[in-house]
Amino acid sequence: MKYKIFLSSTREFEKERNFIKQEIENDYLLNRFFEIFAFEQKSASGDSPEKLYCEEVVNSDIYVGLIGSDYGSILESGISPTELEYDLYNKAHNDALIYIKNANFRDDKTNEFIKKVSNEHSYQRFNDQYGLFKQVRRSLGDFILKNLKNYKSFDSEILSNSSCDDVDVEALELFFNVLDYNPIEKIRDEKGLTKVLSTIKAGDYENGEFRLNNSGALFFAKDISKFNIAHEVKMVRFFDNEGIKTFEKTELNSSLLKILKEAETFFYKVTINISEINGFERETTHEYPFEAIREALVNALAHRDYSITTAPITFYIYNDRIEITSPGRLVYPLKVSDLEDNDPVHRNELICNIFSKTKYMEHVGTGIRRMKDAMINHGLNEPEFIESGEFFKVIFWLNSSDNILNSRQKMLLRLNIDEINKTEYMKLFDVSVNTASSDLNQLVGYGYFDRIKNGRAVIFKRK
């Protein structure tokens, strides 16, 4: 069920009314909770107002009134349609939202209306449609926080067709392996696994039987598909920067902690390890700091909008970057520009609560900073955060100096071949002898391979 907003004003604000309606309809979060009711020209025309909007305004959940310099037409009752709408709503609800546009001149009736409103409600002023909607959006956010306390979030919904038999023992063991909250271990040892699940709010008792909720199913169910929860992670390693040529791909559909483990395995399989000799020791580093990549994936799993069932989380690895994209916009009032400055706001409180008991989310609200620090400490730029449409994306870029290798050379390193000669390289990549020689000699120059003579033959051996 959506909450109905009654939008009231004179014709002076036709542009602003259309803008507010469009913005709410295009905002995924607001559109989930609110729908706009506006007669537009009819609501301010004076044509049989009682028939057109009396019932609608009284039955609306929110009244948004816009007041400018023009009072509008006068009804037989001696007031304008806008003021009548205000009176009808105010009599039934007494919580109208009023916005007054700054103006150099107002007619007398408008000034009287403003005086009346100010005696009954607080109001906000605005200069243009953008400032107006910013204030409206904030007020609607406050409405959500105030009125939706009994709203059942996705992750807290009890799965009546679940039971303890649906719990995957392996997933539970994995949870305890990464647990970073000692009291849970004590509860397990003293009171058993069902008590653990209820303590971390992975489910609750219903008619004497323990049932998983959606968050519990995502972490611990043997078969999550039984509960029709869309949670897939699609991983692809592309051969290029454009996402045209696919090298390897996988789809992860298991429980969340297993997904993290499987994603790590895939990541190390298809990305490059770089070995260097430091003194007498061989040191291996990686082209990306995995702790930053994992943090982004944890955030995607924890904060995605699970009501969007048609799109998976995508984890795309290109030659020059990694992109992790999650369904769902940032939760109001979060913005990309102030992600680090705001207190944590969670779409999925219970999922975040379970993650917070593990080493993967040790300090709630610090993940963005940890991602940035890990990239900087690895000699790379900070990740890029983008909100686009109904999706949130994190991009990890390699430095341009890390992209000196061509796609064949990078592929050879990912294949973890210990040694190769020119003929084998030519067959592997279907290139000429000159290209093979050039590629391999460059890899020697970059320090990835040694060039070793074996009689008349030359072998290129991985360092």
d(CA 406, CA 411) in angstroms, rounded, equals 9
- C-alpha dihedral (173, 233, 24, 387), degrees to nearest 10: 110
pLDDT band at 402 (very low <50, low <70, confident <90, very high): low
Name all domains of the chain by residue range, CATH numbers in brackets.
3-147 (3.40.50.450), 154-227 (no CATH), 233-340+361-401 (3.30.565.60), 404-462 (1.10.10.10)
Look at the block and give the residue holding tokens 């004179």.
Answer: 10
Residue 114: both structure tokens together: 């403003």
Residue 280: both structure tokens together: 């007498």
Q: Which is higher by pLDDT, 16 or 182?
A: 16
Q: In what order do the strands lie in the sheet with 457-462?
A: 419-420, 457-462, 449-454
pLDDT band at 332 (very low <50, low <70, confident <90, very high): low
Report pLDDT for 338: 77
- Average pLDDT (438-447) is 87
Report pLDDT for 42: 45
Report pLDDT for 276: 55
Hey, how many other C-beta atoms are within 10 angstroms of the C-beta on 40?
A: 14
Would you tell me the crossing angle of helices 256-270 and 290-303 to the nearest 10 degrees?
Answer: 150
Report pLDDT for 153: 80
Report pLDDT for 403: 62
Minimal CA–CA distance to 93: which of 130, 53, 61? Answer: 61
pLDDT band at 204 (very low <50, low <70, confident <90, very high): very high
Report pLDDT for 280: 55
pLDDT band at 281 (very low <50, low <70, confident <90, very high): low
What does pLDDT average to over the chain? 87
Tell me the per-residue pLDDT of 66-103, one tens digit each, with 9 for 90 and over. 999 999 999 888 999 899 999 999 888 878 999 999 99
d(CA 382, CA 374) in angstroms, rounded, equals 9
Per-residue H/E/C for 288-334: CCHHHHHHHHHHHHHHCCCCCCCCCEEEEECCCEEEEEEECCCCCCC
Report pLDDT for 420: 94
Look at the block and give the residue holding tokens 């996705």.
Answer: 154
Q: Flag whether pLDDT at 279 surpasses 60.
A: no
Minimal CA–CA distance to 65: which of 13, 137, 130, 141? Answer: 13
Q: What contacts 263, CB < 8 A, 6 or more positions away?
A: 233, 235, 252, 294, 297, 315
- Average pLDDT (101-127) is 92
Hey, how many other C-beta atoms are within 10 angstroms of the C-beta on 279?
A: 6
Lowest-confidence range among 268-277, 288-297, 443-452?
Answer: 268-277
Report pLDDT for 405: 77
pLDDT band at 455 (very low <50, low <70, confident <90, very high): confident
Report pLDDT for 202: 96
Tell me the per-residue pLDDT of 338-394, one tens digit each, with 9 for 90 and over. 787 666 778 899 999 999 999 998 666 678 899 999 999 988 899 999 988 789 999
Q: Which is higher by pLDDT, 13 or 413?
A: 13
Q: Flag whether pLDDT at 46 surpasses 50.
A: no
Q: Which is higher by pLDDT, 306 or 340?
A: 306
